Structure 1
Amino acid sequence: MTEHTPEHVDVLIVGAGLSGIGAACRLRTDHPERSVAVLEGRDVSGGTWDLFRYPGIRSDSDMFTFGYKWRHWDGDVALADGPSILEYLRTVAREYGVDRLIRYRHRVVGASWSSDEDRWTVEVDRDGERLTFTTDLLWACGGYYDYDQGFSPDFPGQEDFAGTIVHPQHWPEDLDYTGKKVVIIGSGATAVTLVPAMADSGAGHVTMLQRSPTYILSLPGTDPVSKRLHWLPAKVRYPIVRWKAILSSIAFFQLSRRRPQMVKDFIRKAALKQLPKDVDVDRHFKPEYNPWDQRVCFVPDGDLFKAMRRGAASVVTDHVERFTEKGILLRSGQELEADVVVTATGLTLKAMGGLTLSVDGAEVKMHDTMTYKALMLSDVPNFVFTIGYTNASWTLKADLVADFVCRLLTYLDEHGVRRVVAPRDPSVGEERLIDFSSGYILRGLDALPRQGDREPWKLRQNYLTDLRSINHDRIDDGVLSFR
């Protein structure tokens, strides 16, 4: 492997998806004097929105908050499709000159911090060549799941199945399901997107096979407030629509926490109105957990329910006993015939996109660290990471992290400081970083850092609270240590 002379940049961003592009744009705007590079392991930008190419892929957060607050989303579409989101991200990157900062096929191998030099040394693999970067601030924007491999259980008898098995994370471009029987295993956001999309694009019949129900709620595909205010200039209309979306999502989440039965009844009644009369709503659409114990799935204009009403799709709630030559044998004894089986069974968690860290020669074990404001790790200097909300738009939190980093860099400049770290406070109790009961979260908890039981070590999952804590509280808050 060829060795190269290290290249130094002031800020090194890992990941050229939504978070990484947004981070680089903000640095270009707020700190143009700093040198910035974005390392992307794949050969294209866009992250999630380029990786996933299954039919119907779209946002399950409204685009007025999923778009950056400083570069608004154009149009009235609330739940946009994947290609539109990808084009938006790449357009923003071009507008801010960030596309010229991205180094493709640069896969980070590891990063080590030296207190003697007050900088990070980052080892990178580029097509078999070993490159080295040094940086004053390392910013991880690679998310929290494994881009290489999704989660797919090892179902018994898969080798006996005569049809095709695919995972949404690795969708074959040449997959032809026209007129075929399709079974989608899963009931999360991916599954409820795939069902109507495949039913509408030629599948013979699509069955969503779930072990247990998920809360599913229909939202208008086009935002009614945005349409009603179309006569206003975009710079006036967008903040109104955006704040409406923010406050609505917060109110829905808080109501779900405080009055769960009320929200359960509301979602059930909404489903009853849209489902065929012969569907058992309590068996297939009434989860045992409370709303937002797992993520609520939103479907634009009730497309899932429409597909069921016209007989193009159905839902079966049961457990997989084994695969057979013709399909899937269920625990109840029923056999679902299938030509194509889609395992929409979730993600594999990978903290910081798999970035491995060491500080002064000691490995950083993620599970032993605690997050400061859910954007820094305890006892890890000059390191920031971006992870979005689980109960609201990812970008709301990503924007707040970018705000914080820009404020932090200004503080460092004004005070002549080179190092910032959040020392671990032993008096702070530990909690799970993500308080969700979803399977993919529970499977990967050991790979994630912890959060504390009080601020600033705790993530409130509330944009208004975090807006104050991250955007307006003092940088020198008595917790962070500077040198």
Structure 2
Amino acid sequence: MKTENELLDVLIVGAGLSGIGAAHVLQRRCPGKTYQILEARAALGGTWDLFRYPGVRSDSDMHTLGYSFRPWTNPKAIADGPAILRYLQETATEAGITDHIRFNHKVLSAAWSSAEACWTVAVEHGGQRQTLRARFLYACSGYYDYEQAHRPEFAGEADFAGRIVQPQFWPENLDYSGQRVVVLGSGATAVTLVPTMAQTAAHVTMLQRSPSFIVSQPSEDKIANRLRRYLPGRLAHHLTRWKNVLVQIGLYALARLRPAQAKRQLVGLAARQLGPDYDVATHFTPRYNPWDQRVCLVPDGDLFRAIRKGQAAVVTDEIERFTSGGLLLKSGRELPADLVVLATGLKIKLLGGITLLVDGQPIRPADTLSYRGMMLSDVPNLIMAFGYTNASWTLKVDLTANYFCRLLRYLDRHQLAIAVPRRPTDLAARPLLDFSSGYVQRATGELPRQGSRRPWFVHQNYLKDLLNIRYTRINDGTLQLGPVGVLPGQ
């Protein structure tokens, strides 16, 4: 364990999926580098340790959400939260990464000094403040707030005799068996909760203001399981991973090229699941095109099955107010409820809320541009793990970790210490995420922006990023490099 006066090569913030993956790649490709991981919580796993709501699971296949260096061997490709957490714990333990994690260490601020070519990071631990120093800061804290979720207020909540809970802060041992449950929302969390809770609740209603695209996918990848039976594990893993990557890219490209046709097909798939008498036009036909918001996945059609059995229902309406016995809707209908679950969305918090300063000047991420989707303009020696919105998060995170190691090795070879992307004066800016989802729109003032051309343009495409990140030159003319004491490009 390093002391406060020692200088680390890399300080990783966050011991979740991104942080553990980054540490693994760093150990393998830059074995001489010293690093620590600061984790604000008491356990590793990030999202997969935080979320404990019923049925919590991946919303993409684990052959691409898992790591490229560690095959996913569970027969279920759409895995539940506990299985994913075990995978992360085993990965960290086997690689010795757990020994590098400082738990219950919350990063408050990070101040860059060009004179010393390092970050001084203020950390809170056990009610006390301490500082750590590192040449590179690697933010692997995701992009949403662990301490707060999006929580709209509704009229009449105080009158409600039942209980109101949020999935992000699910109460331990909450017993909802035999109860009437209303889940507010239509996103990934809601479509996970409804069929799981319907197994023991008296009835579950998913109340949505407007529909989302929902598609069924087998929980097991039969091709992957067959390949694993006949081929060496790593070869089977890589073949499956590439199969799924190419399918994801192809389906996304077709949906964006022919949105009307894709919309008809997705709605038609839901109609076939629910039968000819179901009002799919009202409850499963979104107002937007596919991938304007993320498409929700339901393994083995569990949501549709719960609806067919009468265990669950979907209501498309808006809330007028809470009543003592449930929810009064604007249509005049009243939904009885003993428990209301607010699956109303995430709240974005970039970099875990860390305050940044560069040579004494405060930095607002919203005022910066994203370089290759992993660095911020005019901010030295800062790497940010930020995954895909239209595919598995880890695909991009893995590319980022490998690029970072290439950068470290390049700096060492040329006896350099500082890397800072400089924004061209003629570069137009646009939103970082081309998504109409509420959580993205609410955070437009917090997220960095992207540029209109490479290397400032964020592709959201693994194949393009593979070429533009893995095989690009480090010294590309945009990333300015310099020795200790000199902030290049000024």
Q: TM-score range by the shorter chain?
A: over 0.9
Letter in 1 for 2:445: D
What letter corresponds to residue 223 of structure 1 in structure 2?
A: D
Correspondence for 2:370: 371
Matches within 5 A, 1:179-198: 179-198=178-197
Which residue of structure 2 lines up, in the alignment, with residue 21 of structure 1?
20
| Other structure's SS at 1:398 match | helix
**Superimposed CA distance per residue, residues 51-93 of structure 1 (whole angstroms, 9 cap, x where no aligned partner):** 0000000000100000000111113311100000000001000
- Identify the residue that residue 212 of structure 1 maps to in structure 2: 210
Normalising by structure 2, report the TM-score.
0.97
Q: How many residues align?
A: 479
Separation in structure 2 between the aligned mates of residue 227 and residue 460 of structure 1, nearest angstrom: 31
Mapped partners of 1:235, 1:24: distance in 2: 20
- Structure 1 residue runs without a partner (length 5+): none
Contact 1:107/1:126, CA 8 A, preserved across alignment: yes
The one-letter code of the counterpart of 1:37 is: Q
Percent identical pairs in the alignment equals: 55
Q: Write out aligned runs for 1:264-303 (5 A).
A: 264-303=263-302
Distance 1:208 1:301 in 2: 19
The structural deviation recorded for 1:368 is 0.6
Change (3 A) 1:55 1:409: same
RMSD (Å), alpha carbons: 1.0
**Contact 1:6–1:131 under 8 Å retained in 2:** no
Q: 1:381-396 to 2 correspondence within 5 Å? A: 381-396=380-395
Higher mean Cα deviation, 277-286 or 433-442?
Answer: 277-286
Q: Which runs of 5+ in 2 are unaligned?
A: 483-490
1:73 aligns with 2:72: yes
Displacement after TM superposition at 1:7 (Å): 4.0
Q: Distance in 2 between matches of 1:455 and 1:72?
A: 32
How far off its partner does 1:127 sit? 1.1
Residue 4 of structure 2 contacts residue 133 of structure 2 at CA under 8 Å; is this kept in 1? no
Aligned residue type for 1:470: I
Q: CA deviation digits over 1:81-123, x for unaligned, max 9?
A: 0000000001000111100000001000100001111110000
Counterpart for residue 475 of structure 1: 474
User: Which whole-Å deviations, capped at 9, do the CAs of 1:118-157 have from their partners, x for residues lacking one?
Assistant: 1100000001111110000000000111000111101111
Which residue of structure 2 lines up, in the alignment, with residue 153 of structure 1?
A: 152
Tell me the equivalent position of 1:133.
132
User: Cα offset for 1:276?
Assistant: 4.3
CA–CA distance in 1 between the matches of 2:250 and 2:78? 19
Aligned AA for 2:130? L
Partner-residue secondary structure (3-state), 1:445: coil
Is 1:94 aligned with 2:132? no
Counterpart amino acid of residue 109 in structure 2: G
Secondary structure of residue in 1 paired with 2:290: coil
Alignment partner of 1:227 is 2:231:
no
Residue identity matched to 2:218: P
The alpha-carbon deviation at position 174 of structure 1 amounts to: 2.1
Question: What is the CA-CA distance between 1:412 and the residue it aligns to?
Answer: 0.6
State the Cα deviation string for residues 293-348 of structure 1 (Å, max 9, x = none): 00000110100000011100000000111111101110100000000000000000
Q: Which moved more, 1:222-231 or 1:284-293?
A: 222-231
Q: Specify the code of the residue in structure 2 equivalent to 1:236.
A: L
Q: Is the 8 A contact 1:215 1:287 kept in 2?
A: yes
SS at match of 1:342: strand
| TM-superposition CA deviations, 1:378-425 (whole Å, max 9, x none) | 000011000110000000011010011010011011111100100121
CA distance in 1, matches of 2:71, 2:303: 29
Q: State the 1:226 CA deviation.
A: 1.2
Q: Secondary structure at the match of 2:164?
A: strand
Counterpart of 2:110 in structure 1 is: 111
Counterpart-to-counterpart distance in 2, 1:266 and 1:244: 22
Question: What one-letter code is carried by the residue in structure 1 that aligns with 2:126?
Answer: D
